[in-house]
Structure 1
Amino acid sequence: MNEEQDSADRGPARSAPRDSLFLLTSFSTPEGVPLGKARIRNLSATGLMADCERAVPAGTQVEFDLRGIGKVSATVAWARGDKVGLAFDEAIDPQLARKPVSNGVAQQLPDYLRPANMSQSRR
C-alpha cells in the first residue's frame, strides 16, 4: 500500500495527536436507540477511531460511556464499512481513559495474604 492510499483510508486529517489503545463500549443515539458494540482503537482529545459490530453512517449523532470519563457525545465524521471516526462534541482528557478502573475504595488483602510485618503493623 502506498503512502497516498494509506492516508486516504484513515479519513480526514486529524487535528490532535492520538494514542493507540483498546477499549470496549456501546454506541447509542441521543434518544437511547442502541447502535451496537464498538472497539475503540485510538483516542484523542477531540475524537476516536473504532471498529463497530455494524455500520454506523457518517453524520450520525452517537453517545457512549468511556471508561474514566463517563458519557461522551459525538458525531460520526467518517465511516468505512465497520470502521468509524468520531468527532466529540466537547474535548476530553484522553489520559483519563487510560487510568486503572477503581471503585474508589482501597482494596485490602486478607491477613493470610499479607506479609508478616504488614499484618502486625495494622493491629
Structure 2
Amino acid sequence: MSEENRQIARDSLFLMADLRVDGLEGESRIKVRNLSPGGMMGEGALRIVRGTSVKVNIRNIGWVPGAVAWVQDNRFGVAFGVEIDPKLARVNVGAAEADTPRFVRTHEALYSPDTSALRKI
C-alpha cells in the first residue's frame, strides 16, 4: 500500500455489514472496523484473496462495489469502486429514514399509521 493512501482520513467504528464475494453464493456477515470515502477495513471468518471483486452492504449507504486490496488473517481491506460518505453509516437508522427521499423508502415507512392521531377509547 502506498504511503499516499495511508494519509486518507478513516473513521474508526464498529458496525456490521453484508459482503458478497464474486464467485461465491450468498452473503457473509462481517464487521466493519474503519471506513473512508474510498474504502474500508473489514473482519470476518471467510477466505478471500487480494484482487477479488466484492460488494458491501453498508448501513444507510447500500451496496458498494469494490475489490479486496489486502488480506491479513481474518481482516481485509476493500478499495471501493465509487466514493461514499462514511458519515452516513454513523447516522441512526431512524434519523437517516427521515432524510431518505420518498421514492426509495419502504412501504412500511411510507404507510405506517400515525397512532398519535387515533381517538382513545
**Is the structural similarity TM-score above 0.5?**
yes
Match of 2:43 in 1: 51
CA shift, 1:59, in A, is 0.6
Count of matched residue pairs: 101
Q: What percent of counterpart residues are identical? A: 34
- Determine the C-alpha separation between the residues in 1 that align with 2:41 and 2:78: 6
- Determine the C-alpha separation between the residues in 1 that align with 2:92 and 2:68: 28
Q: Deviations over 1:36-60 (max 9, x none)?
A: 2210000000000011112211111
Aligned runs of 1:16-95 on 2, under 5 Å? 16-30=8-22, 33-34=25-26, 36-95=28-87
- Where in structure 2 are there 5+ consecutive unaligned residues? 99-108, 110-114, 117-121
Cα root mean square deviation, aligned = 2.6
- Determine the C-alpha separation between the residues in 2 that align with 1:75 and 1:15: 20
Highest CA radius of gyration, 1 or 2? 1
Q: Deviations over 1:9-57 (max 9, x none)?
A: xx55425200100111121135672352210000000000011112211
Q: Deviations over 1:68-105 (max 9, x none)?
A: 11111110000012110010000000001110101446
Tell me if the contact between 1:19 and 1:43 (Cα under 8 Å) persists in the aligned partners.
yes
TM-score calculated relative to the size of structure 1: 0.69
TM-score calculated relative to the size of structure 2: 0.70
- Could you tell me which amino acid in structure 2 is paired with residue 98 of structure 1? R
Distance 1:68-1:35 versus aligned 2 partners, 3 A rule = closer
Match of 2:91 in 1: 99
Tell me if the contact between 2:22 and 2:52 (Cα under 8 Å) persists in the aligned partners.
no
Structure ranking higher in helix proportion: 2
